Amino acid sequence: MTVILGLESSCDDSAVALVTSDRRVLAQAVVGQNSAHQPYGGVVPEIAARAHVEILPGLIAKVLDDAKMSIREVDAVAATAGPGLIGGVMVALLAGKGLALAAGKPLIAVNHLEGHALSPRLVDPDLHFPYLLLLVSGGHCQLLEVRGVGDYRRLATTIDDAAGEAFDKAAKLLGLPYPGGPAIEQLARHGDGTAVPLPRPLVGSAEPHFSFAGLKSSVQRAVASGSYRAEDIAASLQQAIVDCLVDRTRLALDKTDAPTLVVAGGVAANQAIRGALAELASANGRAFSVPPAWLCTDNGAMIAWAGMERFTAGTSDALDVPARARWPLDESAEKVRGAGVKA
Ligand SMILES: Nc1ncnc2c1ncn2[C@@H]1O[C@H](COP(=O)(O)OP(=O)(O)OP(=O)(O)O)[C@@H](O)[C@H]1O
Ligand SMILES: [Mg+2]
């Protein structure tokens, strides 16, 4: 049996986990920084990086302690090396390098997106390659054919904002706490998803790309009009995002024979989104897999598991491996017209 220590600090969650090759999470800990970023309505990179420096070492000690293990009993150290807020990325990567060097263990530099992409396989031993992945998170909204470890074909991406950003920006407009996704989902339970007319950007278009920036502007107008209840705006926004995700994913399913639809990333924690995509998969004769909510939002277990998959495949990295702010899963994918940095 192999044991891997996973370290994550690419956004505003410091996270550590110990994961085994037989899919057990021996110990894990996540410390978010919501209250530190709350006054700004979004993550402040400088504050996040400084917090990781303070939080991460204690988390590593706690997780090893909880599992009653020493770093010498670990087979390899996996750390997120990007993409993300570069100041934060460097904290876990450098901590990983230090541990690997001191304990004489291999280092595995993990792509955070690969962490999300492979996370369902940690809890679903029957999930085999290839699968169609809808990766929906705070910084990304992509459809990828996952063909194997390190082998991705991007079918679609967002031309502007990510789905998580749409939730977060709308929440800010509604005066809800950051991160906005869980707050909008909560409020939407008491609202009418048909009450506020909102657009479905790119729905029906020929390529399965996404666009969410227009939704934010429409929510802004709905809030400013004073004509709608916050619950109805939240429910209508959630419904618009569900409709966009379902329509675009339906189109992508036509472009792949992959037998399973998988959804991962922070936004996949949303119950309405999980339900709608499960229905879509079933209507198209595909199996459906989604990780539990704790494995959707940023965590150390998905980094340890992606490290495990790479370690099992025989890869590790040299100690001079760089931290990367931008690191696409499909390096050959063309930039989409109108896309900003989120390709
Ligand atoms: N229940 C939910 N409903 C909708 N969105 C949610 C829910 N829970 C979390 N989110 C959203 O998920 C996002 C955070 O996901 P995650 O932690 O994977 O993102 P990230 O790591 O910041 O971005 P990336 O993985 O692209 O680098 C936030 O935008 C948050 O609002
Ligand atoms: Mg993430």
Domain range list for the chain: 3-117+295-312, 129-290
For residue 264, give the ligand nearest its CA: 1
Q: Which amino acid is at 243?
A: D
The pTM is what?
0.95
Interhelix angle 180-188/271-283, rounded to 10 degrees, is 80
Question: Contact, 101 vs 315, CB < 8 A?
Answer: no
Is residue 25 within a helix (H) or strand (E), and if so which, with residue range? strand 25-32
CATH class given for the domain over 129-290:
alpha beta
* Closest C-alpha to 91, from 132, 139, 53: 53
Domain 3-117+295-312, architecture per CATH: 2-Layer Sandwich (3.30)
Q: What is the whole-number distance in angstroms between the Cα of residue 179 and the centre of ligand 1? A: 8
Lowest mean pLDDT among 130-139, 264-273, 332-341: 332-341
How far, in Å, from the CA of 297 to the mean position of ligand 2?
Answer: 6
Question: Mind listing the pLDDT tens digit for each residue in 1-35?
Answer: 999 999 999 999 999 999 999 999 999 999 998 88
In this prediction, residue 330 carries a pLDDT of 97
Distance from Cα 181 to the centre of ligand 2, integer Å: 13
Q: What is the mean pLDDT of the chain?
A: 96
Burial of 57 (0-12, 13-18, 19+ CB in 10 A): middle
Residue nearest to atom 19 of ligand 1 (CA): 138
Instruction: Say how far apart CA 294 and CA 45 lie, in whole Å.
Output: 23
164-177 tens-digit pLDDT: 999 999 999 999 98
Instruction: Say which residues have a Cβ less than 8 Å from residue 341's Cβ, sequence separation at least 6.
Output: 326
334 burial class (0-12, 13-18, 19+ CB within 10 angstroms)? Answer: exposed
- Is residue 338's pLDDT more than 70? no
Q: Which atom of ligand 1 is nearest to the CA of 113?
A: 25
Ligand nearest to the CA of 139: 1
Q: Which helix (H) or strand (E) holds 309?
A: helix 300-312
Neighbours of ion ligand 2 (CB under 5 A): 137, 298
| The pLDDT value given to residue 339 | 55
3-117+295-312 and 129-290: same fold? yes
Q: Cβ distance 287 to 281 under 8 Å?
A: yes
Instruction: State whether the beta carbon of 291 lies less than 6 angstroms from ligand 1.
Output: no
How far away, in angstroms, is 181 Cα from ligand 1 center?
7
Question: Which residues is 78 bridged to in the sheet?
Answer: 6, 108
Whether residue 37 has pLDDT greater than 50: yes
Residue pair 122/291 in contact by the 8 Å Cβ criterion: yes
pLDDT digits (tens, 9 = 90+) for 195-247: 999 999 999 999 999 999 999 999 999 999 999 999 999 999 999 999 999 99
> How many A from CA of 229 to the centre of ligand 2?
31
